[in-house]
């Protein structure tokens, strides 16, 4: 019974932390959209996208290996493994810094950011990696309270710092970016010190073995990360190139509003995925038709919710955001439906993880990301900002359909048995 209570308690804590993390930036919208221009919001969006792209390469995704090895190594070996991964982080971050400097004549034109802020993004991604190591270890250890407190406190510092720098000191987009940078950097240092305090940092003896093992885990995930970034980052890059940075700001506000759907689907998946894995692994004969039936009901619920959110968006955003941003409300219905397809994706992708067919999933994600580029370019050129939202919706649909097809290949379920 104690294990069940702990599972329920941890689920509630993770859900609450996710809600707070999503709600805090959302509640900043009524304030920041009245003091910042669409161009400022666009620049903030481009910094976030640049940070996400850079983070796919700094550390080479090896922090995920630490969570896996937690159950397989002694504490001393794990401490050596962590230091080895931090060594990979230092080498990869230095390399990305040099590459960014080498591309300095072109990157500002592509991203709309000064080169010095792109270099800051590289350094910040390294600190973010350290924080992710600490979070990953708490997650696998079942320390949900520490995980949630660390995550929410960082978000509060980010939001509070933004308000101080923008409202009291009078900064524009720089205030939001500086607050984000300081929050990530500070909590990266705190995460590192916490690892030291817990005895999880130790000079590696067999660092070559650990290094190869971590790279073997992390490097194959890079195509998956790149594909995901092509799906979520291409839109703002193309908007800046074909339209302007102000239009990217309008798109970002609509995206934040539509992420209400994303919050629902991600939080639900944190509960649903472990239940599904346990059900598929159980020796008991759990009716597969019930799982499929529930999945269809959940998908229907998502599309109804997305439609309602999209239809209500013009009314809600009329008093939620500043006057310069109200036109973004027409994008929300496409974005919300896109997030609904993302929720459907979660219901089918867990079968692929269960069968350990991650490499094929990475290929589908990468191909979907590549399709997104010409699709986004064509629709933005044809329909303007609305075209970007339409491309987002269609790309999420393609991702869901492709993943659904793969999941049924590797783990057949009675999806198309109408008698069910």
Two tokens at 292? 């499929």
Which residue range is the domain that position 34 belongs to?
2-232
Q: Is residue 418 part of a domain?
A: no
Give percent helix, percent strand, percent coil of the chain, each to the nearest 5. Answer: 85, 0, 15
Task: Locate 114 and state its tokens.
Answer: 């000064």
- The DSSP call for residue 111 is H
Crossing angle of helices 38-55 and 222-242, in 10° steps, is 160
Worst-scoring range by mean pLDDT, 15-24, 27-36, 70-79, 336-345?
15-24
Q: How confident is the model at residue 333 (pLDDT cuts 50, 70, 90)?
A: very high
**Highest mean pLDDT, choosing among 95-104, 135-144, 222-231, 252-261:** 95-104
Q: For residue 333, what are its two tokens?
A: 């219905």
Is the same domain home to 298 and 348? yes
Q: Are both 82 and 206 inside the same structural domain? A: yes
Q: Which residues of 310-334 are buried (b: 16+ CB within 10 A; e: fewer)?
A: beebeeebeebbbebbbbbbbbbbb
Give the pair of three-digit tokens for residue 308.
Answer: 């309602």
Same domain, 132 and 167: yes
pLDDT-derived band at 1 (thresholds 50, 70, 90) equals very low
Q: Are residues 307 and 337 in the same domain?
A: yes
Residue 417 located in a structural domain:
no
Alpha-carbon span 50 to 317, nearest angstrom: 27
Tokens 């979907």 belong to 368
6 and 97 assigned to the same domain: yes
139 within some domain:
yes
Using the 8-state DSSP alphabet, how is residue 221 labeled? Answer: G
Out of 232, 252, 284, pick the residue that ends a domain.
232
Averaged confidence pLDDT in the chain: 85
Both 201 and 249 in a single domain?
no
- Tell me if 415 is assigned to some domain: no
C-alpha R_g of the chain: 22
Query: In b/e form, how buried is each residue of 370-409, taking b as 16+ CB within 10 angstroms?
Result: ebbbebbbebbeeeebbbbbbbbbbbbbbbbbbbbebbee
Same domain, 227 and 248: no
Domain count, the chain: 2
Q: For 234-269, what is each residue's pLDDT tens digit? A: 787 788 888 887 888 888 888 888 888 887 887 777
Does any domain span residue 237?
no
**Average of per-residue pLDDT across 379-384:** 93
Evaluate whether residue 177 is within a structural domain.
yes
Shared domain check, 222 and 328: no
Residues 58 and 151 in one domain: yes
Among 232, 265, 293, which residue terminates a domain? 232
- Where does a domain end: 213, 232, 251? 232
Examine the domain organization and report whether 228 and 269 are in the same domain: no
Contact 72/214 with Cβ under 8 angstroms?
no
Overall average pLDDT of the 334-339 stretch: 95
Q: How many C-beta neighbours within 10 Å does residue 63 have?
A: 26
For range 69-76, the mean pLDDT: 83
Burial (CB < 10 A; 0-12, 13-18, 19+), residue 225, is: buried
Same domain flag for 23 and 172: yes
Neighbouring residues of 356: CB distance < 8 A, sequence distance ≥ 6? none
Task: Please give the pLDDT value at position 283.
Answer: 56
> Cα 370–372–375 angle (5° rounding)?
125
Which residues, at least 6 apart from 223, have a Cβ–Cβ distance to it below 8 Å? Answer: 362, 363, 365, 366
How far is C-alpha 222 from the chain's CA centre? 14
In a domain, 378, yes or no: yes
> Are the beta carbons of 55 and 92 closer than 8 angstroms?
no
- Residue 151 domain-assigned (yes or no): yes
> pLDDT tens-digit profile of 123-139?
999 999 999 999 888 87
Same domain, 189 and 253: no
172 in Cβ contact with 205 (< 8 Å)? no
pLDDT in tens, 109-123: 878 789 999 999 999
């Amino acid at each position: 019974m104690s294990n069940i209570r702990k599972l329920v308690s941890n689920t509630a804590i993770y859900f609450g932390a996710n809600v707070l993390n999503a709600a805090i930036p959302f509640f900043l919208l009524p304030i920041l959209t009245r003091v910042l221009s669409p161009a400022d919001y666009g620049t903030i969006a481009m910094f976030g996208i640049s940070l996400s792209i850079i983070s796919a390469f700094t550390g080479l995704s090896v922090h995920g290996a630490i969570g896996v090895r937690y159950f397989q190594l002694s504490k001393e070996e794990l401490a050596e493994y962590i230091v080895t991964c931090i060594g990979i982080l230092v080498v990869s971050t230095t390399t990305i810094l040099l590459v960014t400097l080498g591309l300095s004549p072109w990157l500002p034109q592509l991203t709309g950011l000064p080169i010095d802020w792109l270099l800051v993004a590289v350094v910040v991604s390294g600190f973010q990696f350290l924080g992710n190591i600490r979070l990953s270890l708490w997650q696998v250890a079942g320390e949900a309270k520490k995980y949630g407190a660390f995550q929410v406190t960082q978000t509060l510092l980010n939001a509070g710092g933004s308000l101080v720098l923008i409202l009291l000191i009078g900064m524009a987009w720089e205030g939001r970016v500086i607050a984000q940078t300081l929050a990530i950097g500070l909590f990266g240092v705190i995460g590192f010190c916490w690892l030291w305090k817990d005895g999880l940092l130790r000079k590696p003896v067999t660092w070559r073995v650990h290094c190869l093992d971590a790279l073997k885990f992390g490097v194959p995930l890079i195509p998956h990360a790149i594909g995901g970034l092509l799906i979520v980052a291409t839109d703002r890059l193309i908007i800046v190139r074909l339209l302007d940075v102000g239009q990217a700001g309008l798109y970002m506000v609509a995206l934040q509003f539509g992420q209400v759907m994303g919050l629902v689907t991600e939080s639900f998946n944190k509960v649903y995925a472990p239940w599904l894995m346990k059900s598929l692994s159980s020796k008991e004969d759990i009716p597969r038709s019930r799982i499929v039936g529930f999945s269809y009901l959940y998908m229907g619920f998502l599309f109804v919710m997305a439609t309602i959110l999209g239809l209500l968006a013009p009314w809600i955003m009329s008093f939620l955001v500043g006057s310069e941003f109200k036109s973004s409300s027409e994008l929300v219905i496409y974005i919300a439906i896109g997030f609904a397809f993302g929720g459907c994706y979660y219901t089918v992708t867990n079968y692929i993880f269960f069968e350990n067919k991650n490499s094929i999933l990475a290929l589908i994600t990468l191909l979907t990301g590549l399709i997104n580029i010409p699709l986004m370019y064509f629709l933005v050129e044809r329909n303007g900002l609305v075209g970007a939202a339409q491309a987002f919706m269609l790309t999420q649909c393609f991702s869901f359909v492709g993943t659904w097809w793969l999941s049924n290949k590797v783990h057949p379920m009675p999806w198309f048995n109408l008698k069910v």
